[in-house]
Amino acid sequence: MTFRLATWNVNSIRSRLDRVVPWLDRADIDVLALQETKCRDDQFPTERFEEAGYEVAHIGLSQWNGVAIASRVGLEDVEVSFPGQPGFDKDAGASLLSAPVVEARAIGATCGGVRVWSLYVPNGRALDDPHYEYKLEWLAALRDTGKKWLADDPAAQIALVGDWNIAPTDDDVWSPEFFEGKTHVSEPERDAFQAIVDTGFSDVMRPFAPGPGVYTYWDYTQLRFPRKEGMRIDFILTSPTLAARATDASVDREERKGKSPSDHAPVVAEFGD
């Protein structure tokens, strides 16, 4: 049997619900990780997913951020936030491990034998913004935790999926010159992403979609989508044993088209036995 895993920054689940739920069936998705749900737990449209045959785990604290996992192959051992995940003190304008609120940016669950983490990495905002330092601390904490997971169980099947807000190489942006001096492409961010890869996690889509021009995000402004001016910032990173099962991966670019799309398209990976 195959296992189909997807990640999608939906930019408000309540605004995209009538796109997301039908797509699950159409794309034959077993597990979907969602980011930027932009709602509290009591506002999440759980019933619509359950009617479609999916269990849901969600964490949302306000109209910002929010992550979820929808699964039709089981949903066990739900965990909100990964160990060591830092918070951000918006009043102090600083990232703090002891910040009063850890934002709704990570949720994990075991689905069909795979430990899936839906992740919404902090944006960073600007290179001189405290949120940028928060982003780097957040990624460093994820690296350390992921490294420990693999050390504790080298055979673990783990998927770190979501909106990483990083374009790891120049091939992952439509114009390196346009992004010069901006977040998402800075050397520290790219190094932080690579450090997670270096612990043993693999970008499963790249072998199936090599080269430039493969994007997952297009800004709503300046006709970025029809002009093919995008970024690849959404990823499915998997542990070695899960990566060895990968048989296909792609971006469903069609979901960036039509009425009221998200500015991100879903990334889908398929795994064999």
Give the count of domains, the chain. 1
H or E stretch at 51: helix 46-51
Annotated ligand binding at 65? The verdict is no
Cα separation, 166 vs 146, in Å, equals 18
Q: Which among 256, 264, 250 has a CA at the least distance from the CA of 120?
A: 264
Token pair recorded at residue 243: 């990566």
Contact 85, 138 (CB under 8 A): yes
Annotated ligand binding at 131? The verdict is no
For 25, 35, 44, the CA distances from 76, given in Å and listed in that order, are 22, 19, 19
Token pair recorded at residue 242: 């899960």
Task: Please report the pLDDT score of residue 92 as a whole number.
Answer: 60
Task: Please report the pLDDT score of residue 26 as a whole number.
Answer: 97
- pLDDT beneath 70, residues of the chain: 91-100
Chain centre to alpha carbon of residue 166: 11
Annotated ligand binding at 165? The verdict is yes
What is the DSSP code string of 145-174?
HHHHHHHH-TT--EEEEEE-----SGGGBS
Annotated ligand binding at 184? The verdict is no
User: Could you report the per-residue pLDDT of 61-82, keeping only the tens digit for each?
Assistant: 988 899 999 999 999 999 999 9
For 178, 179, 196, 199, the CA distances from 166, given in Å and listed in that order, are 15, 12, 12, 18
Task: Please report the pLDDT score of residue 52 as a whole number.
Answer: 98
CATH of the domain at 190: 3.60.10.10
Which residues are annotated as catalytic?
A: 120, 163, 264
Annotated ligand binding at 191? The verdict is no
Provide the residue range defining the domain that includes 170.
3-271
Annotated ligand binding at 47? The verdict is no
Contact 5, 269 (CB under 8 A): yes
Task: Please report the pLDDT score of residue 96 as a whole number.
Answer: 52
Task: Please report the pLDDT score of residue 203 as a whole number.
Answer: 98
